[in-house]
Amino acid sequence: MPSKKSRSQKLVLICKGIAMGVANKIPGVSGGIVALAAGFYEELIYSFSRFNKTALTLVFKGEFRAFYNYVNGAFLSLLFTGVVISFFSASLILDQFIQHYPRQVWGLFFGMILASVFFIWIQAKRFTYKEYLVTLTGVGFGLAVTFLTPGQENDNLLFVFICGMISISGMILPGLSGSFLILVLGNYTLLLIDAVNALYFTLVDIISFNFSFVDDPERLHLLGVMLAFTLGSVSGLLVLSKALRWFLQHYPEKIIALLIGFILGSLNATWPWKRIVDPTNQGTQMESQELFWPKLSEFENIYVILFILLGFGIVTLLETYGKKSAQQ
């Protein structure tokens, strides 16, 4: 599975990591879609599944280079470099665009996801009526998840750990948004805003040799929340990646069919044309939206459609580049 990569391939992989990080942050969008559409999904699952007893033994023996090679470290380090870059830069920029140009941004994502489904579908092999039934099951499940009502915030560390285990599915399962699942569990603000900000300010304080945060109980509590969430995410990642790798090895067509269904079922979460149902809840976890069909006579809607086409075109270019790179 692992292979040596050229300098341009390394740069492209970092860019894919940035895209994956951005997607993971947005409720309704899954980083797993990026992995599947960009052609590194199976390598991602393979790499995660290598974190096992053998890897742990290599670490305890001090054989760090062997550990790095065993877990496909070259691939993971490049990918997560992009994710980290996204976390501190691209996602902040995206927040501004979503705030000022929401329909255009959602249109771009909608087009990219549509194109992803298209290319994944045409690459699928030996689809029978069984695979199509599995796809319909995935569609139903994806729709059901997007219509769930957000719960109340809960900062219990065990519950936060469980949130981490559940949310990591957004990185592994295309069509299941980790950030959206956190929103449904009621902890979106706590985990992706408050705890992240606490970690950021703590790192800034440490770099500045300012350790006054140790006397701040609220900061320490949020850092504990972030630690529990991280441990839950890592645990979920290890368990889920091993299970998925086994299923991909034994039932590849059915798993791809199910993932296609997840993606199709969750498409309504990125539909550009939606309006707030209850303005009093706007911007809160209880915000409710309804979808509507656009009037093509309005110029703004034509503009959004162009962004949908742009998103479709971007994925098409990435797919073309990926095929050429694979042939070299």
Q: Which two tokens stand for residue 262?
A: 């997840």
Largest CA-CA distance found in the chain, in angstroms, rounded: 68
Q: What are phi and psi of 274, to 5 degrees?
A: -145, 155
The overall average pLDDT reported for the chain is 81
Query: In whole angstroms, what separates CA 180 from the centre of its chain?
Result: 10
Highest mean pLDDT range out of 50-54, 121-125, 261-265?
50-54
In which residue are the tokens 């069509």 written? Answer: 175
- Considering only CA atoms, which of 2, 139, 184, 137 is closest in space to residue 76? 2
DSSP codes of every residue in 258-282: HHHHHHHHTGGGG-S-EEES-GGGT
* Residue ranges per structural domain of the chain: 7-327
Q: Which of 15-19, 81-85, 118-122, 128-132 has the lowest mean pLDDT?
A: 118-122
> Distance between CA 194 and CA 94 in Å, rounded?
19
Global pTM reads 0.66
With b for 16 or more beta-carbon neighbours within 10 A and e for fewer, the 214-251 pattern comes to eeeeebeebbebbbbbeebbeebbbebbbebbeebeee
295 confidence band (pLDDT: 50, 70, 90): confident
Q: Which two tokens stand for residue 312?
A: 């479709």
> Distance between CA 85 and CA 81 in Å, rounded?
6
> Distance between CA 132 and CA 118 in Å, rounded?
15
Residue 193 DSSP label: I
Strand 289-291 vs strand 274-276: parallel, antiparallel, or unpaired? antiparallel
- In the three-class reduction of DSSP (H, G, I as helix; E, B as strand; rest coil), residue 289 is classed as strand
Give per-residue pLDDT as tens, 137-174. Answer: 988 887 887 776 666 788 999 999 999 988 887 667 76
Helix (H) or strand (E) holding 290: strand 289-291
How large a percentage of the chain has pLDDT more than 70?
Answer: 84
Give per-residue pLDDT as tens, 248-289. Answer: 788 888 888 888 888 788 787 778 888 766 555 555 444 556
Q: Cβ(257)–Cβ(132) under 8 Å?
A: yes
